[in-house]
Amino acid sequence: MQRKKFSAAAFALALTITVAACGDDDEATDTTAATAATADTAVTATTETADEADTATTEASEEAEEAEPATTAEAEEADTATTAAGEAPMTEAPDLSEAIAACEAEGNKVNLIALPDEWANYKGILAAFGEKYPDIEYPVSSPNASSQEEVDAILTLAGQDDMPDSVDVSPAVGQSMVEQGLFEPYTSVYDAEIPAGLKDPDGHWYAAYYGIMAISTNTTIVDTAPETWADLANPEYAGQVSLNGDPRESGAAFAAVVAASLANGGSADDIMPGIEFFAELQANGNLASADITPATVLSGETPIAIDWSYNVPGLAQQMADQGFEFETHFPADGIYGGYYEQGLVTDSPHQNCSKLWLEHILSDEGALGYLEGGAVPARITSLTERGLVTDDMKVNLPADELLDQVNFLTQEQVAAAKEALAENWGPMVADA
Amino acid sequence: MSLTSATTSAPDASTRRAPKQRRSWAWLGVVPFFAFLVIFLIAPALSVFQKALFDSDGNFGVDALKNAFTGQNRAAFVFSVKLSALSAFVGVVVGGLLAYTASTLRRPRWLRTFISSFSGVAANLGGVPLAFAFLALLGRQGLLTRIINDGLGVDIYRSGFALDSTAGFVFVYSYFNIPLMVLITLPAVDGLKDSWREACANLGGTSWTFWRRVGLPVLTPALLGGFLLLFANSFSAFATAAALTTKSTLVPLRIGFYLGGDFSSTGEQQLGYSLAAWMMIIMVVNMGIYYVLRRRSERWQQ
Amino acid sequence: MSASAAGRRRLSNVIVPIATVLVCAVYFVLPLIAMTRFSFQSIPVINLRWSNLTSRWSFDPVVEPFRDEQLRSAMYLSIKLAVATVFATMALLIPTTVWVNLRLPRMRSIIEFLTVLPYVIPPIALVAGIRVVQPHARWFLNSHYSLVPFYVVLALPFTYRALDAGMRALDLKTLVDASRSLGAGWGTTLRRAIIPNLRTSIVSASFLTATVVLGEYTIASVLLKPTLTQELVVFQQSNGQQGTAMSLLLLVATTLLLGVLTIVTRKRGGASVTPV
């Protein structure tokens, strides 16, 4: 009896200790250990940037003047982040040492959210970030979250250590974020190279990339792929047409509705035809009840996907593994291009690490990463001028004549579209 | 929680002199429990009512409660009630039959133990893994979907089936409703003594007479109680439904929808709380009747 | 009783039950089969043929997820929450049930009624209430362990019944009287006289609590706490096969927990696994 009691007590004690020990791992960011370990690497990082700063003018905006041929190594490998010895250091000239040091003080961690691997090659961009800053952790929570869910995470996790530091949201959601003061204004070192249409005048957000809506079809499941918006209403596609979420919450679905509207007699000011188009699809049973996620695409649940064209290349390999073939068509009757907004979240726990992330996606590595994924980076002009963009890089990009047709919605048009969706999508489509 | 009360447990003449003091000491013992429930259960529940009845400016109004029955929310209520009633009915019938089986089949001898153990387990399964299992079985790319398509030539989805339709939900919810019904009903069915059956037969009655005059009346409280419990279970199920569909066509899903969105501009947040308030009201009535019925059915289980 | 009537009765007595059992057996097993096939065979249903039915099976989908950091820490968190909830439940309920059985027998029906309340206030309504209070209680709700008291509440119907049933089987009065008359204080009485006799009930309640906590999704998903089920849903959206395999694992684990529990309590004729 005594022995039993003793072992029970010992067991309880061990359990408590384990629980307490494990608890520390999760919650507390072990800043002291991190700072001790990274002290050396931080020094080397700063010396590296110092070297780069020496060989080039400090302001990155001046790099346009140095039209030196970039290292071919850098051009081909979008995910090698470190500069080759001495060659084309101007592309990494920006001095972020202050932010790097401050980031370390914050805990060397940047909480990211809603960045799926296959979305415009975020897998490559994240890997490049990891190589550029080996000591910074960059956990990505909820990869398939919609833009609205990102805001919800900000509000729900406010004050916690896992609150998102940086977001990537649709213009519709970005608008309400600005209204609620959730974006922290910040001017990037690349600010001058980003066109006015792809950034917020008050520095709340930048649009690091944009793309075009496409219809991607799994041709193993579907015999003839739909090529235009009108095709989608064909009864043979019953239950197969799918969106990437709810347009009231997700940017990709929002864009799909606007695009459908352009194809059906609407305009950037009036998206009701688009809502009506999808109401019709819902009524005749063509609209799938599942949202597009990597899992549903790979299982074949969403064979006809209306999504950004840059979401397709990332899944190509896995689709082939499954034995699926697919085709992507840009519907000629309605071309719509849209961007996403990235920025720092107000009062997030790691403001400076967040700055490093933002600078990274706007940098050359980031831009080339987006390019590889099939999205157009914001600084494409600057990169092209410096000869960093080769033709084989643009293989995933939509054709130039399609890109020329792209007109972004203005903020007023976005607001009007939001309202139309809020009032009509529910009754007409979602819960019909 | 160690109490240093000086009162002894054996009542004696001396305590009769100060019964009040003894009683007040005893109450203290359950205060922590009550306090815990108040803080972590009652208070949130009351907050929901507070939010449903008082708008953002602090004015009292039942408008939100009334608006909960308009538009899509009304459709959600209708769907939820219809679905819960149907899946409760299926659960009662099949679960009742299964309980009857477990109770009456003498051979194989392990069957009863197996059924009751299995029910004990399956009644508590559910939620996310269950939804994934049914998606793998009957989703658009489900195994059974394909088998039926190839074998019978019937594309169930083209025929109008969907996992998030009434039929689909009933099919999925039965997975935990049937075992729950078995657990609830088994004691009651056990209470149907064989001697009653024989007596009925001796008096010239058939099997049907037995059920009509003796069996079902005795079982009715248990069956009705089971129905109510299953109804409550199905009505408030959130996890399974959320994993099965992205639409918000059921009341719990709509509550989740309102909770997860940013409705500060349209004031629809209050609708979510009023939906939750109505849900609780329905549950109170439901479980209240259930409680009474259970008391009555326990009479037969001596 | 005529022979044919008896024969008829025997037949209907046998056919209906057997048919029921068979249909139910098929119904309960099929989804698991489909889930297993989807998890472990890397062939989409549409590409399945008789010829490749046995190809491309592997255990990878259930091994790979363990390498995912976020999923692993979600697993640890859920396990820790389960353990904490068990301890909290015992700390709250054992003294309460002892007290009620000993001193306040009339309170028993009130308390039993209270333990049904979590059924009246379903998790989705409960979490709506938590949301209302959240802006004022961030200091508490920010910690992941703030889920514990709510989990105690959710498990209450099960745990209270288990403990109370065990308690009623004891002759509590005599036990406590004997212990106290031998000079033991309340703490010692609890520890050495009562709890050891409640082992079955405590194990039963603990396993039930663990099942509830491991499977809980509603509260965690609204509050965005990274528990196992919450992370599993997120994980499954990007990795269909692996996510489903992990869910299957969770299902198996829960079944084992409850199965062991049912077998153990069966011997002692103890606690039930029904919530009401």
pLDDT tens-digit series, residues B78-124: 999 999 999 999 999 999 999 988 888 777 788 888 888 888 888 88
The structure's pTM equals 0.83
* pLDDT of residue A7 exceeding 50: no
pLDDT band at C194 (very low <50, low <70, confident <90, very high): confident
* pLDDT of residue A55 exceeding 70: no
* pLDDT of residue C189 exceeding 70: yes
**C237, A293: Cβ pair inside 8 Å?**
yes
Q: Per the structure block, which two tokens stand in for A119? A: 């979305």
C12 in contact with A at a CB cutoff of 8 Å? no
Phi-psi region of A239 (alpha: psi -120 to 50; beta: other; left: phi over 0): left
Q: Is A261 exposed, middle or buried (0-12, 13-18, 19+ CB in 10 A)?
A: buried
Contact call for residues A151 and A157 (beta carbons, < 8 A): no
The Cα C276–Cα C271 span in angstroms is: 12
Residue A322: helix, strand or coil by DSSP? helix
pLDDT band at C105 (very low <50, low <70, confident <90, very high): confident
A103: distance to nearest CA of chain B, Å? 31
Give the number of A-C residue pairs with CB atoms closer than 8 Å.
Answer: 74
C49 in contact with A at a CB cutoff of 8 Å? no
Q: Search chain A and give the residue with CA nearest B155.
A: A238
Chain B residues whose C-beta is within 8 A of a chain A C-beta are 71-72, 75-76, 139-141, 157-158, 162-164, 245-249, 260-262, 265-266
C110-134 exposure pattern, b = at least 16 Cβ within 10 A, e = fewer: ebbebbbbbbbbbbbbbbbbbbbeb
CB interface of C with A, residues 22-41, below 8 Å: 38
Which one, of B40, B128, C231, lies nearest residue A26 by Cα?
Answer: C231
Residues 6+ apart with CB under 8 A from B86: B166, B170
Q: Per the structure block, which two tokens stand in for C214? A: 């491991």
Q: Does residue B108 have a cis bond before it (omega within 30 degrees)?
A: yes
**B239, C28: Cβ pair inside 8 Å?**
no
Collect all residues of chain C within an 8 Å Cβ-Cβ radius of residue B201: 1, 5, 9
**C238, A295: Cβ pair inside 8 Å?**
yes
Identify the pLDDT of residue A430.
78
| Secondary structure percentages of chain B, helix, strand, coil, to 5 | 75, 0, 25
* pLDDT of residue A43 exceeding 50: no
Select the residue of C42, C73, C234 nearest A26 (Cβ to Cβ): C73
Q: Which ranges of chain B have pLDDT less than 70?
A: 1-24, 262-267, 297-302
C142: distance to nearest CA of chain B, Å? 16
Length of chain A: 432
Select the residue of A22, A152, A159 nearest C80 (Cβ to Cβ): A22
* pLDDT of residue C212 exceeding 60: yes
The Cα B281–Cα A141 span in angstroms is: 36
Identify the pLDDT of residue B266.
59
Collect all residues of chain B within an 8 Å Cβ-Cβ radius of residue C111: 30, 33
* pLDDT of residue A147 exceeding 70: yes
**Lowest mean pLDDT: which of B273-277, C55-59, C271-275?**
C271-275
Residue with the two structure tokens 């099960």: C158
The Cα B94–Cα B177 span in angstroms is: 9
Q: Per the structure block, which two tokens stand in for B271? A: 């609708």
Q: Per the structure block, which two tokens stand in for B277? A: 């308030």
Read off the pLDDT of residues A84-138 as tens digits, 9 standing for 90 and up: 333 333 445 678 888 899 999 999 999 999 999 999 999 999 999 999 999 999 9
B62: distance to nearest CA of chain C, Å? 18
Length of chain C: 276
Collect all residues of chain A within an 8 Å Cβ-Cβ radius of residue C224: 152-153, 156-157
Contact call for residues B91 and B230 (beta carbons, < 8 A): yes
Q: Search chain B and give the residue with CA nearest A173.
A: B262
Q: Search chain C and give the residue with CA nearest B9.
A: C177
C146 in contact with A at a CB cutoff of 8 Å? no
* pLDDT of residue A42 exceeding 80: no
**C125, B239: Cβ pair inside 8 Å?**
no
